[in-house]
Structure 1
Amino acid sequence: MFLIPKNSLKLLLLIVLGNASIFTADAQQVSLARRQQDFVDLRFGMFIHYNIPTYMDQDWADPEASPAIFNPKKLNTDQWAKAAKSANMSYGCLTTKHHSGFAIWDTKTTDYSVMSSPYKKDVVKAYTESFRKAGLKVMLYFSILDTHHKIRPGQITPEKIDFIKAQISELMTNYGKIDALIIDGWDAPWSRISYDDVPFEEIYRLIKSIQPDCLVMDLNAAKYPAEALYYTDIKSYEQGAGQHIQKESNKLPALSCLPINTAWFWKTDFPTVPTKTADVLVDKMIKPLNDAYCNFILNVAPNRDGLIDDNALSTLAAIGSKWNNVGPVQALPVSEAPIISSNLAKKQAANSSWSDDMWIMDFANDDSFTTAWMSNPAVKEPWYEVSFKRDEAFNTIVIAEKKANIKAYRLEYNDNGIWKLILSGTDPSRIKIHRFNRVWSKKVRILIDKADKQVELAEFQVYNERR
């Protein structure tokens, strides 16, 4: 038997706990990488836009539309699952709540739901049971933007954040294993609800706390660079919104979505207007997307009776006769864990060496990847600095360039007037993600020692990740 001195015991405990947190973070990333691979291996699934817009001939419903109009006479989720199987799909994803806020599950959070409609049955429950019975994976869609409950720009309150959490908790708790939650209406130019207004990390960790294996997918590809996972486990591309994956260069687990008809929710002309053809959907969508680490989800909208139209059924069967899931796609390249925390540097005071013309330092932390701080070509060793109002803890820095020109650089933080090195980097990527042991400072900077061409820094981002 031996005794460890008190101070040494504390040090040993810190080392053990520190290593445990590292091992836990590493294990979580390995687990996430496995689920990302599993997701792209699914290859092809069915998006099901079915909600109160179905009964309004619109994709965006009137937020004050009466629940009385939601009244399917023949709703049959077994038919949906059978249709998905006919196309050799692997999973489904149902719109539990769209932007107008109508919930199609038995929720305790609001009376603006299917339970107040003439139908009075839990559609989410029926869907999950039918798809599982057919051997299909189950995913759900959920909109953060909610115009009925006034969850919109300038009106986010703690109570509304609690409302969102309560709804997501119901969906994650009451319907068995959910393989993925696809989130919409968040941090988009048209929703204008930021990841700070409704804190992304809190929602992300809530989902994972209830269902650790559930992938969190936010439809946000339009804003963020294609080379990194920002606020999502899977990079998502909505083709109808002009978001198209770069098939030749993509290295991330991805999802691409498109409707089989001309819109997401059912329209009165859907039964008579031809759908996209099986040839196009197989040869131009499924196959090339799968070759680019991308899962393809095809939207098939049930009609007002709650059934899929005959022309869509025929197209799905034709897809199944042309295509089958032959197994796993090629192995995904190793990628960095998603960024899920708030950017501490966003719109904080910035300084830099001489800028080029109008492209001054404020453009590198304005939360836009379309603008950039440009270093004046006359400066041989440019630098860029962000100042906080008080000491901030941080352990991650992302250097996002317009083009990959920076080749050698140093990251430093200021400790009581003395600049101290965080790391020296030579990452040639356009998006350079650096994770390190936590430091505290009011100032952080990048010193650029070597660049091939003029430096164009789109975003200099600083995060304090929980890990």
Structure 2
Amino acid sequence: MKRLRTLFIPLLLITVTVYGQNKEQQNSAALKWFTDARYGMFIHWDMSSVAGTEISWSRKATKPLDITGDPAGYVEDPNYDNLYKKFNPAKFDATEWVRIAKEAGMKYIVFTAKHHGGFAMWNTKTSDYSIMNTPYGKDAIKQLAAACHKAGMKFGLYYSQRDWHNPLYGIGDNKAYINYMNEQIRELLTSYGKIDIIWWDSYGVGDLEKFWQIGSTYDLVKKLQPDIIMNNRLAVLGDYNKQPARYLGDWDTPEQTIGKFQNNRLWESCFTLVHTPDGGGWSYRPDGKVHSYAECINALVGCATGDGNLLLGIGPDATGVIPADQQERLAQISQWLKKYQESIYGTRGGPYTNGTWGGATFKGKKIYLHIRKWNGDSLTLPTLKGKIVKCTNLTNESNRATFVQDNKNLTIKLSADKQDSIDTIIMLELAGDASDELTNGKPIAVK
């Protein structure tokens, strides 16, 4: 992940972005579960939690082929690089982590196998720089994979192609490093049963095919786990979706912002649950603050109405425990989801584009309007082609919403004192299928 000075801004963007994706990919079973899931947990955790500093980015040394001006080659940070000697998460309980994610309403977990700092969280034979050589000395991925499989939770692995700790990274013809990386990938995809996702986090500067030999890595992954799905970061840092078409991956990855409305290529926004003064918060940061309940709900709704997923990042502490304030916020989101899950899971974004007014999801004959901003007691949208047979205020069914539909506009009416301060959900049931409201797959534009 990038260490950026960003704000957690749950804006609902209205631009429609188009990328090519073939029908076979769109219709695959693997991508269907991903689309239906809508909400996952992103876990950044390694020995950086001992110091409570940002994972990898707090390493005070060069970042080869990554940050402009940094030379290639390994430079040691004697403090950060030796944190593993104190890493002993005796309270780590993989089953408990999965329980927390499942109760939070999350449908999949992505865990950092190796971040840019190069520390491996599994029993690797490729390096001594791993969790096996800590006081803890146990394979974290083995435990978490087993817990996910037992609970029926989809399990994915984050893997950074960058490795600032490895002297082989980015030097010479790079073949030695590629062999090292591919062997790590082989271990991860052959030792822990089914892996549902591989979440790449980009190469440093260099030609993808000549320098990074991307084909060897891609082919290895597909050979070992044919049904695995992967994001668009099997690419040079920042040049996502510019790689050869074969390596585009299955979804786009806007970071710390909600993606633009995009219903012809999958996307997933990754956010930190915690925000910090320096723009971090991916890993355990005791100086950070948990985002507000409203921000979290707006992020989840913003992703779903834009036809994307939310991958929410949490950071366990050095003992292996997910901090109480993070658990509390996840539980609050869970309570919201239990009430309104029909408007999120298994839906598609649309048929309206989202914006400052809010957004919409649909499924079958139902459209769910997630309204954030009203014009007094009403909201006017472009009309629908289909006939509305039922209008329900899901946020509070006792507070009845009404509608007026003509050949130009659809107006939803609800007294201002009955509107929810975060998200008023109005369900519209149509006589026909809601997907018919799209024109050649395109949503209805809301100005």
Q: TM-score, normalised by structure 1?
A: 0.58
The equivalent position to 2:95 in structure 1, one of 75, 78, 85, is 78
Write the mapping of 1:62-73 to structure 2, written as runs, cut at 5 A.
Answer: 62=59, 65-66=81-82, 67-73=84-90
Deviation at 1:330, TM superposition (A): 2.8
Local SS of the residue matching 2:216: helix
Deviation at 1:87, TM superposition (A): 1.2
Q: Within 1, Cα distance between the matches of 2:168 and 2:304?
A: 36
Local SS of the residue matching 2:247: coil
**Higher RCO (C-alpha under 8 Å, 6+ residues apart):** 2
The equivalent position to 1:252 in structure 2, one of 259, 262, 265, is 265
Deviation at 1:92, TM superposition (A): 0.5
Within the alignment, does 1:131 sit opposite 2:148 as a pair?
A: yes
Name the count of aligned residue pairs. Answer: 296
Within the alignment, does 1:265 sit opposite 2:280 as a pair?
A: no
Local SS of the residue matching 2:312: strand
Worse overlay, 109-118 or 228-237: 228-237
Q: Within 2, Cα distance between the matches of 1:50 and 1:192?
A: 26
Within the alignment, does 1:92 sit opposite 2:105 as a pair?
A: no
Local SS of the residue matching 2:348: coil
Which residue pairs with 1:464 in the alignment?
A: none
**Does structure 2 conserve the Cα–Cα contact (< 8 Å) formed by 1:251 and 1:292?**
no
Worse overlay, 285-294 or 29-38: 29-38
Which residue pairs with 1:44 in the alignment?
A: 39
Which residue pairs with 1:312 in the alignment?
A: 326
Within the alignment, does 1:34 sit opposite 2:29 as a pair?
A: yes
Uncovered stretches (5+) of structure 2, i.e. residues with no partner: 1-20, 60-75, 276-280, 352-447
Write the mapping of 1:84-123 to structure 2, written as runs, cut at 5 A.
Answer: 84-123=101-140
Which residue pairs with 1:53 in the alignment?
A: 48
Deviations 1:419-448 (A, max 9, x none): xxxxxxxxxxxxxxxxxxxxxxxxxxxxxx
Which residue pairs with 1:434 in the alignment?
A: none
Q: Within 1, Cα distance between the matches of 2:331 and 2:184?
A: 35
Uncovered stretches (5+) of structure 1, i.e. residues with no partner: 1-25, 334-467
Sequence identity (%) = 27
Higher CA-based Rg = 1
Which residue pairs with 2:293 in the alignment?
A: 278
> Which amino acid in the other structure matches residue 239 of structure 1?
E
> Which amino acid in the other structure matches residue 95 of structure 2?
D
> Which amino acid in the other structure matches residue 77 of structure 1?
A
> Which amino acid in the other structure matches residue 172 of structure 1?
L
Local SS of the residue matching 1:239: coil
The equivalent position to 1:150 in structure 2, one of 148, 167, 178, is 167
Deviations 1:283-311 (A, max 9, x none): x2112212222111000110011110011
Deviation at 1:139, TM superposition (A): 0.4
Q: Within 1, Cα distance between the matches of 2:207 and 2:46?
A: 25
**Does structure 1 conserve the Cα–Cα contact (< 8 Å) formed by 2:258 and 2:303?**
no
Deviation at 1:157, TM superposition (A): 1.9
Deviation at 1:211, TM superposition (A): 0.5
Q: Within 2, Cα distance between the matches of 1:230 and 1:294?
A: 22
Write the mapping of 1:276-425 to structure 2, written as runs, cut at 5 A.
Answer: 276-282=291-297, 284-324=298-338, 325-326=341-342, 327-330=345-348
Q: Within 2, Cα distance between the matches of 1:232 and 1:151?
A: 26
Deviations 1:146-181 (A, max 9, x none): 011135444552121111110001100011111110
Within the alignment, does 1:210 sit opposite 2:224 as a pair?
A: yes
Local SS of the residue matching 1:126: helix
| Counterparts in 2 of 1:175 and 1:264: CA distance versus 1, 3 Å | same
Q: Within 2, Cα distance between the matches of 1:331 and 1:277?
A: 24
Q: Within 2, Cα distance between the matches of 1:256 and 1:229?
A: 22
Within the alignment, does 1:161 sit opposite 2:174 as a pair?
A: no
> Which amino acid in the other structure matches residue 51 of structure 1?
D
Q: Within 1, Cα distance between the matches of 2:22 and 2:302?
A: 32
Local SS of the residue matching 1:144: coil
Local SS of the residue matching 2:157: strand
Q: CA RMSD in A?
A: 2.8
Which residue pairs with 1:233 in the alignment?
A: 249
Deviation at 1:236, TM superposition (A): 2.9
